A and B are shown apart, each in its own frame.
Chain A
Amino acid sequence: MAQVKTYIRSMRGWWWRDPYFVRYMMREGTSVFVAIYAIVLLVGLLRLTQGEAAFNAWREALASPVSIVFHWILLLTVGYHAYTWWKVAPKTAPDIRIGGRALPPMVITAGGWLATIGTSVLIYVIVRWM
């Protein structure tokens, strides 16, 4: 550090400073809902190991109005998190080159979305008709 008096600015409220930081905090914040939803599903798995009655009780709890409202919130927040997840995926992906040229970030994001939508449709088809 320089041997003169300097002024250090405060970082207080930094996430409001730029819309980019607000979106970053929303991305990180919505990950909490992803964790909550994972716990809901894990509880279901636990109840399944405890027998049919326990599993049906879990399913009944899910069908309550409070649970349905809560699941709408989960759908929105997890959906937003998925959107941000694929948006940053090109930054976390390895350096992929085709014919010496870097793969456009759009391709990675679109690939992620295709995989998400494909898996969701597949699961829905399996659960609904099989």
Chain B
Amino acid sequence: MADKQTIKIEVLRYNPEKDSEPHFQTFEVPFTHDTSVLQGLQYIKDHLDGSLTFRWSCRMAICGSCGKMVNGIPQLSCHTFLRDYYPGKVRVEPLTHFPILRDLAIDQTDFFNNKLPSIKPYVLPREEKPLSAGAYVQTPEQFHKYYQYSQCINCLLCYAACPQYGLNPKFTGPGALALLHRYNADSRDRGWRERAELTNSEAGVWGCTLVGYCSVVCPKDVDPAHAINQNKVNSTLDYFGVLKFLMPRGGA
């Protein structure tokens, strides 16, 4: 490790038992060409300060656990490399717009306990069929209508990119609303009507002002901004009572 380059990592620290507010702590971390920001944090935890708290799991951009603000931008820390910041320093903070539990760990309860269940994130079958009737079939064209939105890994980067969520935590937010569209757009699902009340509400699509940053930071190209804004049109048509004539499925 001796001949390696080192980089300064500034980490936001917060200990709820001791601190009244968070503060930054700087660490000098050795790195190579393929050291991710997450690995940098792991180095700190293993060698410099074992009390540093942060979430991670898969280290290959699929589990959605290690989202952090890296130099002010919401990113997966396993998908962000120290080499890109050298010779500057890297500033790592917990995802913004969420309460800080400890150090880099945020309180995700609002998303997992409130937002996600509220959109009914499961297929509500259009027609109940007995098991003997076989699978619900779908054409590739129908599949592509929702595939992109089904790629969400619940990493919450889009929430950290959404000032409307930061200003009003009642807003359902980009991730959950993109998933709402994922199920509405699925040909096997009953669609619009089941989730209409939430979609049409102030906490639904109308809480969005199309800042659009959610779609920029999304590591899975889900494009929540597009999902939400398509449903503003649907919500308007629903308000005027014309949506049911335009939607081919089950009273829209």
Interface, chain A (partner B; CB < 8 A): 1-2, 4-9, 11, 14-15, 17-18, 20-21, 24, 28, 88, 90-92, 94-95, 97, 100
Contact = CB atoms under 8 A, between A and B. Distances in A.
A24 B107 contact: no
Given A2-B109, A14-B163, A100-B144, A92 B213 contact: no
B230 A7 contact: no
Interface residues of B, number: 38
Interface in B151-191: 163, 166-167, 185
A83 to B, nearest CB: 14
Nearest to B106: A6
Interface of B: 14, 16-17, 19, 21-22, 72-73, 96-97, 99-101, 107, 109-110, 140-141, 144-145, 163, 166-167, 185, 209-213, 215-216, 223, 225-226, 229-230, 232-233
B211 A24 contact: yes
Given A18-B72, A92-B229, A100 B140 contact: yes
B72 A8 contact: no
B210 A7 contact: no
Contact of B21 (A4, A7, A88, A92): A7
A60 B23 CA distance: 62
Contact of A14 (B16, B145, B166, B229): B166
